[in-house]
A and B are shown apart, each in its own frame.
Chain A
Amino acid sequence: MGYIQLQKDADGIVELIFDQPGKSVNIMGEDYTQAMRAAVAQLQQSKETITGIYVRSGKPGQFFAGGDINRMLSMDLKMDTTEKEEMFNNVMLAKAPLRILETLGVPVAVGINGPALGGGFEIALACHHRIALRSTVIGLPEAQLGLIPGADGLVRTTRLLGIQKAMEVISQGRQYRAEKALELGLLDAVVDSEEDMHRAAKRWIRENPDATQPWDKKGFDLPGGSHSSKSIQQMLNFAPLRVKNKTRGLMPAQQVITAAISDTSRVDFASAQRIEARYFIKLLLDQTARNLMRTFFVQMNDLKKGASRPSEPAPSTVSHLGILGAGQMGAALAFCAARQGIEVTLLDRNQEVATRGLEYAKRCCEKDKRMDATRASELVARIHPAADYGALSTCDFVIEAVFEDRRVKAEVTAGVEAQLQQDTVFASNTSALPITDLADACNRPHNFIGMHFFSPAEKMPLVEIICGQKTSQEALAKAFDLAMQLQKTPIVVQDAPGFFTTRVIGATILQGAALLVEGINPILIENAAHFNGSPVGPLAIVDEISQATAYKNGKQNRLDLEARGETYVEKPANIAVRRMVEEFDRQGKAYGGGYYEYHEDGSKTLWGGLKEHFAPQGYTDIPFEDIKDRLMFSQVLEALRAMQEGVIKSAGDGNIGSIMGIGFPAHTGGVFQFVNSYGSRELLDRCRYLAERYGEEFEPPALLEELAETQRELV
């Protein structure tokens, strides 16, 4: 059986059915191109006997998944011009049958019985009439992987929706529910059953024998105006500016989308097809797309399939979740769980405090525009405030989210454990406190695990699961399952100071302080982070955490070290924080100001005193590229050290954790993919340069040397 079957009915309508052999979903690869070319050639030959064409999928509930990402990932980025030319020709070959189909002279309808994403929806766009099941989703998500549609999806969307709307649809790369797609004009009809869909498609074909695409009709005008319109000109003037500022110039696909839509809408269809192909190839051979495809497609799929979860026991679900501590984190977790239909007992030191946690859930409901009052009250009703540990006895999973203090955590751990069933997992939500030590407070340390949620938990997708020395595989599996049940993205790490994410973000914060103490212009420090693609500069982060907290933690560290008989050495970061607190009384944003001054209108500016106190003789001048690299590399090297020490095993977990947890720039594909894309040898050389000038923290770890030596990639 081939990829495509052609079946003609009594009315002369040919059904063109996609059913890729050996796959559960249809994918647009080499075999698609061949099959489609053959099928269309056959249709061309028998054109006279055909009244119309109905395109559909032969796979139940699956229409067409899109391009072959794995094949794209396997392509060599460094192609010579001859290879690029061949690639261009292949892209044009893949486009050709769809263009023949839409200009064959017979009506073409498509029935979308399941997700039609990327290439799948591009096929649909080449049909004159698009019908979809109400339950399905469609979209052009290429931008999220650093690409653009490459089978004329960009050309057709622009001609279908106009320049401005096409830009929104393609640059956002969203999946639309069928209803929404209908509203946008991407679909023509939405139906409730496959039978209705087939019937409607064929009826439309019978009733529209002269159907053509709007853009193939004489006198076609681009909806919403062309380049001659002032408002379009203005939009095209400002769109690239906005995109460049927003992406800091780091997301080529976003920039290409604006350009390709503009360029293709200035010319005829055939020229537009070629322009789209040229931009498509430019992106396909761009490192950023490579990074995004690997991390957000391959590694994210692996993660969701449970690559870091033990294969035993079988997946479980939590029906009753206990949460200790009704503060912001506890309350947010209660909301997340209740949103997924889980019964929650939300416990705090007294009923009043516990009940206050409900307010948070209510506010979250109000902020969610899609939530109606009935669903909101049902959700809130699933959260049961309590003040007695006994209320947790029926829970099948408990998360502790009390104050980040070892003694407080130990106290509640011991108190609660006595009330729990033998196999109830007890998770501590902490960003840095060692899990193995916390587990000392309980009798069943195998049930004890760390779950580091990020604030605000109702929005932040990442959960860092931390295994203590004695944590069992069952506990890990259950914690992983709960994270998935909460619609979070779980990564798995081993217990060590700072785990993975806190340790990695800590490295760049320290580096920011080191730069400041060296007398570097703080504007350059913050802008270096900005242009690296980081959401916040290292100085601004400290202001958020507060210098006061950092100062206190530093003191505690010193005591811990000295208690272990080690000598304390004051690092630049400690110097910066100590001076800010002791000398200048600038203890952080919450205290009225830190490295920044905070103004009434909500804006902030760097504190003028930084120059006077940290660079009294004038700023130290080092290359801006060095500042940028110090802020990035400090994180990358810390991640490599963590991997070397066995704290993190999966590069995918590290990549996803770094991006979704601590804002490591997404275009890099994450902290480990950064090594692959920079090149381990080049990174090694650059680290040695930085180490020589700026300190031992840039000495390459053994793992990097090994990677450079063997040219192994971290995947």
Chain B
Amino acid sequence: MTQDVFIYDAIRTPRGKGKPGGGLHEVKPIDLVVNQLNALRLRNSLDTSLVEDLILATGEPVDEQGQNLAKAAITYADWSDATTGAQLHRFCAGGLDAVNLAFAKIAAGIESLNCAGGVESMSRLGIGASGGAVSDPWVAWQSDFVPQGVAADLIANLNDFDREQLDTYGVLSQARATQAQTNGHFRSLVPVVDMNGVTILNRDETIRPQTTAEGLADLSPVFESYGALGYDELIKFKYPQIASLRHHHTQGTSSGIADGAALVLLGNQQAGKQLSIEPRARIVATALVGTEPTIMLCGPAPAARKALAQADLNIEDIDLFEVNEAFASVVLLFAKELELPMDKINVNGGAIAMGHPIGATGAMLVGSLIDELERRQLRRGMVTLCAGGGIGIATIIERV
């Protein structure tokens, strides 16, 4: 018998610029997590011995972000020894998948109170630090994997999204994020502090309020050089209708490289009562889909449909969507396929403006969505992300 699962809290760090010189570059991945663990405990007067599991996603589970970062952080943050922990990798979907997994275990009646989220210090680990099976020659031959930016450009080509449409979206993301920041809409944001409690970073660092369409039009396509390495040719094995790929995505229309962490506290009704905390939302349905792995970023729409079917809801029943802005074409494709107006999607901007700390983003979007549903007094929302290898993920939540 399944139980209702509630979100009792959802918090995130600000997103730092994911390069040396970025506001969170000096912070170790484990300290990003511990900042969040401390905040969660403090905000909820949490008896940590009641938290059964901490599931943490990261995109580069290696070196200082490696092994079982979750359990290491629990001990280091002086949470209860009774809390266990696990590391999870589902590329960009990891942060949300951690939440969904924690949800599933509670819904199944296995556990009562779990914590889930993700962390990524891209400024310290970079992209690709953990290698991967797909870079093996024999595996590569059979897999036709391409860099994500090339896949994003492929989406744009196949759907006739031109440079201008993408740039327009890029400007929108910046404008929305600027407004949300200015008006304090990001209520789930918790500043990162040092070992003395001194604030290190308290706001999303990469938003560019001055962004204009003209400015974006001047940027050069980022993935042209990747394509020229041979990936533009490789995609034709599966997409022979492409004569030569046109590269449209720039830094202004791709998610930024960022540092950050996020946590979500989930539990059944009884756990909330035991802790005397009120639920903020309920998880209605979750979905995972696999899609064609070369283009790889088309998962959100089918994942959304699958989640809706599971919840027995229609697309109109969802008031707001957080679609991770991995690339502008991913969001445009989602809106196109589900025939959605832009004023329901990413209303406070997204990763194009604020960056995409891979393993953390999914969990961050849960917090952002709850914040906005509460602010607008709306009922239901959906978080969805595309992820490497052709993965789509979605979660429907409703306020209670």
Contact = CB atoms under 8 A, between A and B. Distances in A.
A528 B237 CA distance: 10
A472 interface: no
Interface string B135-170: 111101100100000000000000000000000000
Q: Which of A237, A241, A245, A258 is packed against the most chain B CB atoms within 10 Å? A: A241
Contact of B241 (A249, A263, A524): A524
B135 A237 contact: yes
Main secondary structure of the interface of B (DSSP, over half): helix
Contact of A605 (B135, B138, B243): B243
A689 interface: no
Interface in B117-147: 131, 135-138, 140-141, 144
B101 interface: no
Given A238-B229, A249-B141, A263-B138, 9 more contacts: A237-B135, A240-B141, A248-B237, A258-B137, A259-B141, A521-B241, A523-B243, A526-B243, A624-B240
Interface in A225-250: 233, 236-245, 248-249
B233 interface: yes
A244 B240 contact: no
Nearest to B232: A245
Q: Which of B137, B229, B240 is packed against the most chain A CB atoms within 10 Å? A: B137
Nearest to A523: B243
A3 interface: no
B227 to A, nearest CB: 11
Contacts of A256: 138
A527 interface: yes
A251 B141 CA distance: 11
A236 B231 contact: no
B137 A531 contact: no
B244 interface: yes
Main secondary structure of the interface of A (DSSP, over half): helix
A241 B240 contact: no
Nearest to A522: B243
Given A236-B135, A255-B141, A262-B137, A241 B234 contact: yes
B240 A527 contact: yes
Name the interface size band of chain A.
Answer: 20 to 34
B240 A531 contact: yes
B390 to A, nearest CB: 18
Q: Which of B135, B237, B240, B242 is packed against the most chain A CB atoms within 10 Å? A: B240
B260 to A, nearest CB: 28
B137 A239 contact: yes
A234 to B, nearest CB: 9
B345 to A, nearest CB: 30
A412 interface: no
A396 to B, nearest CB: 50
A606 interface: yes
Contacts of A243: 141
Nearest 8 Cβ contacts at the A-B interface: A259-B138, A527-B240, A259-B137, A245-B233, A258-B137, A240-B137, A523-B243, A241-B230
Contacts of B233: 245
Contact of A528 (B135, B141, B240): B240
A531 B243 contact: no
Interface string A504-526: 00000000000000000101101
B41 interface: no
B336 interface: no
Nearest to A235: B137
B237 A249 contact: yes
Contacts of A240: 137-138, 140-141
Q: Which of A255, A528, A605 is packed against the most chain B CB atoms within 10 Å? A: A255
Given A249-B237, A262-B136, A606 B243 contact: yes
Interface string B309-339: 0000000000000000000000000000000
Nearest to A606: B243
Contacts of A259: 136-138, 141
A523 B242 contact: yes
Contacts of A528: 240
9 contacts: A233-B131, A240-B138, A241-B231, A242-B230, A244-B237, A245-B234, A521-B241, A523-B241, A526-B243
A688 B240 CA distance: 26
A665 to B, nearest CB: 15
A240 B140 CA distance: 7
A606 B244 CA distance: 10
Contacts of B136: 236, 259, 262-263
A243 B142 CA distance: 12
Interface in B256-281: none
B28 interface: no
B236 interface: yes
Given A233-B135, A249-B237, A241 B244 contact: no
Interface string B73-94: 0000000000000000000000
Given A233-B135, A258-B137, A262-B136, A241 B242 contact: no
Contact of B229 (A236, A241, A244, A255): A241
Q: Which of B131, B140, B237, B242 is packed against the most chain A CB atoms within 10 Å? A: B140
A245 B242 CA distance: 15
A523 B157 CA distance: 14
Contacts of B236: 527, 530-531
B244 to A, nearest CB: 7
Contacts of A524: 240-241
Contacts of B135: 233, 236-237
A457 to B, nearest CB: 31
Interface in A514-555: 521, 523-524, 526-528, 530-531
B234 to A, nearest CB: 6
Contacts of B243: 523, 526-527, 605-606
